[in-house]
Amino acid sequence: MSNTKVTNDINKVLDKAIEKWESDDIFILTDTNTYELCLPKLLKSDKLKKSHVITISAGDDMKNVDSLQQIWAYLSENGATRKSLMINLGGGMITDIGGFAAATFKRGIDYINVSTTLLGAVDAATGGKTGINFLGFKNEIGSFAPAKDVFISVDFFKTLDDKNIRSGYAEMLKHALISSKNDWQDVLKFDLEEVDFEELTALLERNSEIKENIVEADPKEQGIRKALNLGHTFAHAIESWSYTSGNPVLHGYAVAWGLVCELYLSHIKLNFPKEELLRLKYFVREHYGRYDCGCDDYDELIELMKHDKKNEKKLIIFTLLSNVGEVVINQTATNDEIIECLDFLVS
């Protein structure tokens, strides 16, 4: 289980963490964005000034085999050993691919995630899932390999634009929905128009607690950890389709739209309260806009859902809710029901 800490002093917590690793060398993985915006802050630390820096191109479409080979090659050519330490500095793309690179290089080296985006903090950085996209499918290749430490630096969030804040916030909506009515009320009250970072930090700490409790109970996703998949069967299809259609959307926007679809499916199959469904739909419509999709695209979205990793026996598997905080896993749906959900989303 990773040790997750939300901090306003990233150098202090990193320095303390590095002291306990008997590391031959330290390698910091960045993308072209975090190299410019975040790395300079880390290099102020005396313990990190001599670190090797690996930089790959930014963007989720770069979470691929070519980038992975680039990381492996740099580690190999610069003398990394099984006692080396890797620090993944970035959002979900970096922590996903960096974690996978670390987990597989020389059969595994230790790594620390330093999350610089809200989405990465509440989603990819914690929980131990690592991986890359492959053949157009999200996270098709990967492994469970928890970071030794996860540090969430709130200071870095202030470099994010409005869309990236909202993208991360969608995962917080999900965590609240699977947790409790009190958590659900709290996330709905937060003002996304005028972000209060102190209030956001408190919500983020609660979100991390919700996720860590679930992951600790089910690290390999055999049961209750599937609660974290709420909204994601639709979301991964929407996100994959957006890249092929030439109009890529941020992961959190796909999650927000996926939540609307899967709460509607929860309503028609499990009698999830209509009032809460509509509260989510109106919140998403206000803050994430309308999903631009037509009925001519439905077949392709359904086909993408058939490749979801959660599927079993050729059935598309969903995590649904019978009420806020009441999770029902391993649910299925007919094509007609999936189409009904998409119609509800775009209506």
The per-residue pLDDT for 2 is 55
* pLDDT-based confidence at residue 210 (cuts at 50, 70, 90): very high
**Among residues of the chain, what percentage have pLDDT more than 90?**
73
Rounded distance, CA 78 to CA 25, Å? Answer: 10
pLDDT for residue 107 is more than 80: yes
pTM listed for this prediction? 0.86
Rounded distance, CA 347 to CA 341, Å? Answer: 10
* pLDDT-based confidence at residue 292 (cuts at 50, 70, 90): confident
Q: How many helices (H) and strands (E) does the chain have?
A: 15, 10
Rounded distance, CA 181 to CA 158, Å? Answer: 29
Mean pLDDT of 21-26: 79
Report pLDDT digits (tens) over 148-187: 999 998 889 988 999 999 999 999 999 999 999 999 999 9
Residue ranges and CATH numbers for the domains of the chain are: 3-157 (3.40.50.1970), 162-346 (1.20.1090.10)
Q: Is 270 exposed, middle or buried (0-12, 13-18, 19+ CB in 10 A)?
A: middle
